[in-house]
Amino acid sequence: MKIDLIKLFFKYYLKNKTKNENTIDIDKIENILVISNTAIGDTLFVTPALRMIKEKYPDKRVIALLNPVNYKLFESNPYIDKIFTYNGKWRSFYITMKKLRKFNIDISFIMNCNEPQATPLTYSIQSKYIIRIPNLTNEFNFLHYNPPIARNYDEHTINTRIKQLEYIGITKKSYQMELFPNKNWFNKVDNYLKKDITYIGLQLGASTVSRMWFNTHWQQLAELLLEYDKSIELILTGAPNETNLTTQLEKSLKNDRVHNFAGKFDICSAAGLIGRLRLLVTPDTGPLHIAAAMETDTVAISVAGLASSSNPISNTSKHIFIQKPKTCDPCIDKRCKYQECMLQITPEEVFENIKHILGSANE
């Protein structure tokens, strides 16, 4: 059995520490740390909170601690003053702590970050107030300014982010995820795309097998779309580690109206590509939320993920979430190796929802 010695140290070191229970005086707050250093979607869920903090308190410095893999998507966000990156592991804990301590952090919002590192990190940088929701089962919640709060799966994830802001007097509700692309995001993409074409994206990969559809279903859906409208061309999106999926589908379709762009662009240009699509069909994974932030319509397919907590809420684009019930009891989700439950979602059902979105634009 592997023993986490650093975790044991912090459990011993922090066990007699207490949280700051003083009322937060926002006039004395100068530096605010927002931590979201996990997946792309997790950080996009934080973007409404970033806007609300800066709009309410434009004089406060907002520092973001982000994932080194995806932070470039957020460098252009006007509501962030300074970005640091952290991979969430003990190996880079000390150097991250050392950098952050220079900024005299007054309050830390742990929006999304893995424990056992997150709370010890914010305590070690001498943050006066540490806020994290949910935190009911968190072993370090005795250091959190807020009381223990359970996760509510019927509540949208963005709600759990903006709920933290109530402790600094922000009660506004906003659910629009945001990215702020510059022209460089589109330069390479636009070299490949033509005018007067309806580009529909197919995102085959997902963070876990449990959230992925089967390639046979993707093939059937693609064939339905290609037959339905000759002006439709399909873009296969994905990260470099998903090219095996897209290459397999590309070969099975053998159609020059299918373009395999998986792994072709850097992360910002990949977001730019999604922004150029008429619609993206995707599992409940990061590109779903990128599409919403880029104001691209989506049709999402899911069993393990929940529409109530994950489907984009937007005034600028349409988002249909096709969800089916779990078929295994218990559902092992991330440990699943054969996602039979996803067979409940048929290509015909997805196709009909795509037609609904395409048709609504002409009504």
Residue-wise pLDDT for 55-106, tens only, equals: 999 999 999 999 999 999 999 999 999 999 999 999 999 999 999 999 999 9
Q: Residues 298-303: contacts with CB within 8 Å, 24+ apart?
A: 299/350, 299/353, 299/354, 299/357, 301/213, 301/342, 301/345, 301/350, 302/211, 303/210, 303/211, 303/327, 303/339, 303/341, 303/342, 303/344, 303/345
Of 176, 200, 155, nearest in space to 294 by CA? 176
What's domain 184-360's architecture?
Answer: 3-Layer(aba) Sandwich (3.40)
Q: Which amino acid is at 165?
A: L
Contact 307, 283 (CB under 8 A): no
Residue among 360, 288, 275 nearest 323 (CA): 288
What are the residue ranges of CATH 3.40.50.2000 in the chain? 11-168, 184-360
pLDDT under 70: residue ranges of the chain: 1-3, 361-363
pLDDT of 15 reads 87
Q: Which of 354, 87, 83 is nearest to 225 (CA)?
A: 354
Give pTM, 2 decimals: 0.95
So what's the pLDDT on residue 3?
A: 66
45 vs 56: CA distance, rounded Å = 19
Looking at residue 331, what is its pLDDT?
87
**Neighbour count for residue 183 (Cβ, 10 Å):** 8
Residue with tokens 């460089």: 184
Which residue's entry shows tokens 């196709």? Answer: 351
pLDDT for the residue numbered 361: 55
Class of domain 11-168: alpha beta
